[in-house]
Each structure stands twice: as structure tokens, then as C-alpha cells.
Structure 1
Amino acid sequence: MSAPILMALIWLIAANVAAMFPSRDHHWRFAYVMIAIGIPLLGWLTWQQGPIVGLLFLAAGASVLRWPLIYLMRWLRGAKGPKSS
């Protein structure tokens, strides 16, 4: 098993284990750290293993960090919408 795949699997396990514990800020601080680690890791994984493996791990990471993505989509939809009043 290559190093990028092993690191990505460790990232997924760490994100899932951390999500099981209660948090006062609803895991947002941890989500920021995981995003900061995950983006370069995903680039490395995609560069080493190809786009199919990269897309699979992108989907896995998006399922773990779904709330930051949901809030990002809501923010983008609100920012691009027509202004009323």
C-alpha cells in the first residue's frame, strides 16, 4: 500500500473517531484542522494514484465533513442570489 493511501485512510479514521466524541463547538475547530490537512493530502493522493482514487477519497472525505460543505453551499447560493429590497 502506498504512503498517500495509508495517510488518507489514517485521516478518515481520525475524522470518524473524533466525530464520535462530544464537543462544545460542534467539532468546527477540528473540521478546520482536518480540512487544512486533507486538501494537500488529497492533492498528493491524486497525483500519486490518479484521479479515480482521488475522487473516491474526495467523496469519503465529503461524507465525513458534510456540514462544512453544506454551509459552504448555502453561503455560495446566498451570495450569488438576486438582491431584493
Structure 2
Amino acid sequence: MTHSLTAACVWALIATLIAVGPNRWHWPAAWVLIATGVPLLGWVTYENGPVWGILVLAGGLSVLRWPVKYLLRSLRSDRGAHSE
């Protein structure tokens, strides 16, 4: 296993431990996970190819589903406001 995939597994383990923790940690930790996950995703894709990058992206999106849900909701509401 490459170093980037090992780091992605550690990232997923930390995300799981955060999810088990108190609710007050969830949103601040989500921002940290996003900030570390984006470069990690690029590293995995660069080192292992696009298939592994897509798989790691899918795993990250499943862990961070609420921030992604809120982002999509805000993008939809912004698009509707600009269409007038």
C-alpha cells in the first residue's frame, strides 16, 4: 500500500473517531477534515491514478455527507435567486 493510501485510511479512521465523539466537535472537525482531505485526495490521485482518486472521493463524501448536503442546498438556493 502506498503512503498516500495509508494516509487516506488514517484520515478515515480519524473521521470515524470524530463521528463517535460529542456533537460539539462535529462541525469544527468537519472543516479540518475538509482542509486536510482535499490535498490528500490530490495526493492519492497523483500517486495511484484516477480510479483510486474517485474511490477515496466517494469515501470522503460518505463521511462528510452533511457538509456536502448543506453546500448543495445553498448552491441550489443561490442559483434560484440569480435567475430572476
Shift of 1:19: 0.3
RMSD of aligned Cα (Å): 1.7
Paired residues in the alignment total 84
Normalization by structure 1: what TM-score? Answer: 0.92
Shift of 1:21: 1.1
Q: Kindly indicate whether residue 21 of structure 2 is the aligned counterpart of residue 14 of structure 1.
A: no
For structure 2, which runs of at least 5 residues remain unmatched after alignment? none
Shift of 1:36: 0.2
Q: Percent identity between the aligned chains?
A: 48
The structure where helix makes up a greater share of residues is 2
For structure 1, which runs of at least 5 residues remain unmatched after alignment? none
What is residue 45 of structure 2 aligned with on the other side? Answer: 46
Normalization by structure 2: what TM-score? Answer: 0.93
Shift of 1:84: 9.0
- 1:54-78 CA-partner distances (Å, limit 9, x unpaired): 0001000000000000000000000
Q: Which letter does structure 1 place at the counterpart of 2:44?
A: L
